[in-house]
Amino acid sequence: MPHAPGIYLDNAATTPLSEPAREAMEPFLGDRFGNASSVHAPGREARKAVDEARERVAAAIGARPDEVVFTSGGTEADNLAIKGAAWHGREQGRDGVVVSAIEHHAVLDPARWLARQGFRVREVQVDSSGVVSLDALKTAIDDRAAIVSVMWANNEVGSVQPVAGCAALARDAGAVFHSDAVQGVPWLDVDASIAGLISLSAHKVGGPKGVGALIVRRGVKIQALLHGGGQEREIRSGTYNVAGIVGFGAAVEHWIANRAAWADRASALRDRLQRRITGALENVHVSTSEATRLPNNLHLIFGGIDGESLILLLDAAGIAASQGSACSSGAAEPSHVLAAMGVSRDLARGALRLTLGPQTSTADVDRASDAVVEAVKRLRGR
């Protein structure tokens, strides 16, 4: 894996492009430019590459190749799942959409948009460690529910969700179960048989940005968002992003082959990072339960500091970290995930997310923990 300059501890935001992905993509950025829907030789060559990638993506989670619908990324996969299942459900007399309160905005915002179109949308609360309560979910699901969506693991605090239990509740009510596994696939054994719809994104597993997939299990019906050439079983029209799809296939295959070893290593390094920071500072809170978090995620809250200033100080020290909440606008909105966990607005300001990757070394962890301790002390004025 190539090293970015400095220390990169923001692998939940994105990962570096892996060598296997880069190598697999290169021909399709050059001579092999065919349209995978064309019948001639260059088209057939592209189609073959897309189909091989489809097999690799399916194999990563135990799905069938014909269940893979390639999209422009996790955001589109989530939108397609939520809107597509809700619209199909409405035709069957079901107008309920149930989502957890800690979903990525790519799930929450389509659900809220559907609420404005007249769907009955319920957001289910989580406990103080960011895990969905099955009792609360059960109460929220009724026989009008078209879709229930609970993510495999949360992108901010790293809490892993009880997806098998959530899926069973959805199934009992006759609703489709969707899981956003964008953060789950890199670190956990995601089993496609659990859900009807699963969202994936290439750039979290060493693939290129702007490509992902929605797994649509056989028998699950959704409506399309994009109409046109009828690609992907008429579920997702649009000329294939051949290089991106090929990169996704190579990346995910390489990642899954190494995942177990990488997860063990990341979790030991993450524990070391946690020990070094929490041992040197007072008033530090580990946000999630240690029993139910992703192996590469360390989410901390420092009392009495502004996390944004902390990120800037770390950046100046060559360490790329994050507050965890997606704020593409740059607006310092408090995290909806921490709010759902009952963290006060004031305390939530002091959040720091450090997410390790396969490339993270012990030396990185030691340098980063020293930098965090120093920066927090500086911000606290001592």
Work out how close the CB of 178 gets to ligand PLP at its nearest, in angstroms, rounded to a whole number: 12
Contact 372, 352 (CB under 8 A): yes
Q: Report which residue's Cβ sits closest to ligand PLP.
A: 74
Contact 270, 326 (CB under 8 A): no
Does 104 participate in binding ligand PLP (rule CB under 6 A)? yes
Alpha-carbon span 84 to 77, nearest angstrom: 10
The residue among 201 and 288 lying less far from ligand PLP, judged by its C-beta, is 201
In the chain, helix, strand, coil percent, each to 5? 45, 15, 40
Query: In the set 11, 18, 79, 155, which binds ligand PLP (CB under 6 A)?
Result: 155
Work out how close the CB of 201 gets to ligand PLP at its nearest, in angstroms, rounded to a whole number: 3
Alpha-carbon span 122 to 140, nearest angstrom: 7
Query: In the set 180, 232, 253, 364, which binds ligand PLP (CB under 6 A)?
Result: 180
Work out how close the CB of 18 gets to ligand PLP at its nearest, in angstroms, rounded to a whole number: 16
Work out how close the CB of 191 gets to ligand PLP at its nearest, in angstroms, rounded to a whole number: 18
Put the strands of the sheet holding 284-286 in their side by side order: 284-286, 297-302, 351-355
Alpha-carbon span 196 to 81, nearest angstrom: 10
Query: In the set 84, 89, 212, 247, which binds ligand PLP (CB under 6 A)?
Result: 212
Look at residues 246, 274, 259, 290 and name the one whose alpha carbon lies nearest to residue 366: 274
Does 244 participate in binding ligand PLP (rule CB under 6 A)? no
Work out how close the CB of 214 gets to ligand PLP at its nearest, in angstroms, rounded to a whole number: 11
CB atoms within 10 A of CB 46: 23
Does 299 participate in binding ligand PLP (rule CB under 6 A)? no
| Binding map of ligand PLP across residues 63-82, x = CB under 6 A, - = no contact | ----------xxx--x----
Does 106 participate in binding ligand PLP (rule CB under 6 A)? yes
Does 158 participate in binding ligand PLP (rule CB under 6 A)? no
Which residue out of 226, 327, 339, 347 is catalytically annotated?
A: 327
Is 282 in a helix, a strand, or coil?
A: coil
Does 364 participate in binding ligand PLP (rule CB under 6 A)? no
Segment interacting with ligand PLP (CB under 6 A) among 43-51, 180-188, 250-258, 270-278: 180-188
Does 353 participate in binding ligand PLP (rule CB under 6 A)? no
Segment interacting with ligand PLP (CB under 6 A) among 21-29, 85-93, 177-185, 253-261: 177-185
> What's the distance, CA 293 to chain centroid?
14
Q: What single string gives the DSSP state of each residue in 70-113?
A: EESSHHHHHHHHHHHHHHHHHHTT--EEEEETT--HHHHHHHHH
Q: Judged by CB under 6 A, how many residues of this single chain contact ligand PLP?
A: 14
Is 355 in a helix, a strand, or coil?
A: strand
Does 369 participate in binding ligand PLP (rule CB under 6 A)? no
Whether 166 is catalytic: no
Contact 149, 111 (CB under 8 A): yes
Give the H or E element holding residue 353: strand 351-355
Alpha-carbon span 20 to 15, nearest angstrom: 14
| Tokens standing for residue 106 | 């790519």
Does 253 participate in binding ligand PLP (rule CB under 6 A)? no
Return residues touching ligand PLP (CB under 6 A). 73-75, 78, 104, 106, 151, 155, 180, 182-183, 201, 203, 212
